[in-house]
Structure 1
């Protein structure tokens, strides 16, 4: 599925790229940051980080009312530099990791879906990225 709209979110994490990469990709870390708000959490994650490898993160409301699996297949993996994947619904995601010494810039570009507004999607993905930044800076 190709969409006309691509959305970009970004942040700078005050940690070197090797620590950022570890936090981004190890399941024990993914479950600590992969949620958009305090009402949500990620009780499960698996990650086979290689071309054609699969990943899955379960995102769930803390009150137990709803959950879903965010999953896909990697199309490109370049250690400490680039991850590209296709989500289960066919949308594409590209994540660049730019080493800037003791900091790492992350730029995430993804195809928009059709059900929610661009602003809502950008806000949700940015919130998850902000959680990642906060968790990684606290933990490493």
Structure 2
């Protein structure tokens, strides 16, 4: 498992949703597809340590990119460490998603270390887009 060599980013947000709703958004295929730019029907998740996941991301210009990986750590409503398969790399890249509930709100922290500054910048940009979309998804409907 690759944790990178020191080119790290950390993104923190406070979401207007309890940790359980945030967790469900990250770990339920149909919910994840609705906010994570995934093609409908492309998301599969076996959310347990060692379980695998896959999704096909659709870019704004219509391009499709299949993603695969596994779950490294799973603590319901608290921590999700995801291994992402990266073409050309011998080991998956790890990304952590930490949740801390504060009443009806949740602080989310996304962390990832990469091998190069360019990889870090690209990953950070993608994660920022995901958090923006997640924030909008959670705000859109309390029944998400």
Give the TM-score taking structure 2 as reference length.
Answer: 0.82
Which runs of 4 or more aligned residues in structure 1 lie more than 6 Å from their structure 2 counterparts after TM superposition?
Answer: none
Per the alignment, residue 89 of structure 2 pairs with none
| 1:68 counterpart = 2:65 | yes
Distance 1:7 1:49 in 2: 24
Per the alignment, residue 106 of structure 2 pairs with 104
Listed as ranges, the matches of 1:1-140 within 5 Å are 1=2, 2-35=4-37, 41-43=38-40, 44-61=42-59, 63-64=61-62, 66-89=63-86, 90-112=92-114, 114=116, 116=118, 118-140=120-142
Distance 1:31 1:83 in 2: 17
User: SS at the partner of 1:49?
Assistant: coil
Deviation at 1:12, TM superposition (A): 1.2
Deviation at 1:67, TM superposition (A): 1.3
Give the TM-score taking structure 1 as reference length.
Answer: 0.84
**Residues 117 and 110 (structure 1 numbering): CA distance in 2 closer, same or farther, change over 3 Å?**
closer
Q: Which runs of 5+ in 1 are unaligned?
A: 36-40
Deviation at 1:63, TM superposition (A): 4.8
Q: Which runs of 5+ in 2 are unaligned?
A: 87-91
**Residues 6 and 63 (structure 1 numbering): CA distance in 2 closer, same or farther, change over 3 Å?**
closer
C-alpha contact 2:113 2:120 (8 A) present in aligned 1: no
* Aligned residues between the structures: 134
Q: In angstroms, what is the RMSD of aligned CA positions?
A: 1.9
